[in-house]
Amino acid sequence: MVTLEMVVNELVAHAGDLDLAARFAQVDAQEVHTALEGADADSADGVVLRLLAKYNPLTED
């Protein structure tokens, strides 16, 4: 199983279109938003998590 950490690490090392890669990454929205709250905004992880959060919004049940 691919963890969020693995996805983030892969995207941080990505040298192409980051937005496109993040759009099709398979992640859990809740996990992404939780991780984003604790991430440094001015870091590569923060950049990637913001993109993942954009394409994986939290849905209200």
Partner 1 sequence: MAAPAVTLPGFAASMWMQTGATPTAFTTANLAVWTAQVATIVGTTANGTGASGTQLNVEAVPAFGQDDGVASFAIAGSRQSDKIPVQSAPTSLTISAAWNPSDAGLLLIRGDAYSGIIDRTYVIAAASGSTTIAYAFNGRCSQFQIDAQPGAEAKCTFTIHPRGNQYGWSNT
Residue appearing with tokens 């980051």: 18
Among 26, 37, 42, 59, binds partner 1 (CB under 8 A): 42
| Cα–Cα distance for residue pair 57/14, rounded to 1 Å | 22
The nearer residue to partner 1, 4 or 44, going by C-beta atoms, is 44
Q: Binding of partner 1 at residue 53 (CB under 8 A)? A: no
Q: Binding of partner 1 at residue 16 (CB under 8 A)? A: yes
**Closest C-alpha among 39, 44, 1 to residue 22:** 44
- Residues near partner 1 (CB under 8 A) are 11-20, 41-44, 46-48
